[in-house]
Amino acid sequence: MRKRALLLVLIAFISTPGWAQIKSFPKLTDTLGQPAAIVPGKAGTAIIFLSPECPLCKNYGPALQEIRAKFPDIKYYGVVPGKAYTTQQISNYARQYVTGYTILTDKKCSW
């Protein structure tokens, strides 16, 4: 049941024709603190908002990996909002729970 609910949430984020109408995204950084951007994928794009300390985000890790394996042509991004976590904490979380996702941070909570 939980995997089905997560899949429905991801489908809501996957790009649609309206994606092309978005003129700009918030300023994001990668796990090294360097400027980064979300680049729409040809087959679709999924943006998942994460928190390294959130038990649900940790529990959804296996389901996120399964979805990524099932739909490999979609581009996946994990966005960690705020300044509460260091780049090391975010990197450790990503390595353990969401490998293969591009992890970005939104320090200004623009979304």
Alpha carbon distances (Å) from 106 to 33, 34, 67: 11, 12, 24
pLDDT tens-digit series, residues 29-57: 988 889 998 888 888 889 999 999 999 99
Alpha carbon distances (Å) from 74 to 13, 50, 99: 11, 18, 15
57 vs 53: CA distance, rounded Å: 8
Query: What percentage of the chain has pLDDT greater than the value 90?
Result: 46
pLDDT exceeds cutoff 90 at 11: no
- Structural domains of the chain, with CATH: 2-106 (3.40.30.10)
Q: How far apart are the first and last CA of the chain?
A: 28
Question: Mean pLDDT in the chain?
Answer: 81
Mean pLDDT across the stretch 50-75? 91
At residue 104, the pLDDT reads 94
pLDDT tens-digit series, residues 19-29: 455 556 678 99
pLDDT exceeds cutoff 90 at 5: no
At residue 108, the pLDDT reads 87
